[in-house]
Amino acid sequence: DENIHVGPSDYVPWQNDNKICFIRMEGKLFGDVPMNLELRLSVEDSPNSAGVAIDSIRCAKLALERRLGGVIHPPSSYFCKHPPRQVTDDEAWRLMEAFIHDGGESLHEVSDTGGGEREPVAAAG
């Protein structure tokens, strides 16, 4: 079992456009010697959205070229905080990679909890 916790990523008004991240790692070194690492990261938040926005637009272009419409679940699951179908990060990445590389020849795969159902979505027009 992984002992990992990711706290809320909501907007905090008094932080304005700043995000703060605290990372704590515990482990053991050679000779079973305990080790602790604590890190604080503070960063301007708005520029961090540019890469996600660009990649989302690229996926929208792929969907358009493949004549797909409606919710495109792999990019939604990978890029959005609250997608229509929530999957694990690993599953979202796998579905996203498949969406990018499948060339649009197969139906895009969606998953509620890793069930692997497949669903066609055709563009209007």
Q: Strands of the chain (E only): list them.
A: 18-28, 34-44
Task: Find, among 53, 54, 64, the residue nearest to 104 by Cα.
Answer: 64
pLDDT digits 0-9 by tens, 66-84: 999 899 999 999 998 889 9
> Is residue 31 domain-resident?
yes
pLDDT digits 0-9 by tens, 10-22: 777 888 888 888 9
Task: Say if residue 100's pLDDT is above 60.
Answer: yes
> Is residue 21 domain-resident?
yes
Task: Name the phi and psi angles at 61, rounded to 5.
Answer: -65, -45
Q: How confident is the model at residue 103 (pLDDT cuts 50, 70, 90)?
A: low
- By residue range, what is the domain housing residue 27? 13-46
> Is residue 110 domain-resident?
no
Task: Say if residue 55's pLDDT is above 80.
Answer: yes
Encode burial over 77-100: b for 16+ CB neighbours within 10 A, e otherwise.
bbbeeebebebeeebbebbbeebe
pTM: 0.57
What's the structural domain count of the chain?
1
Q: What is the pLDDT of residue 8?
A: 64
> Is residue 108 domain-resident?
no
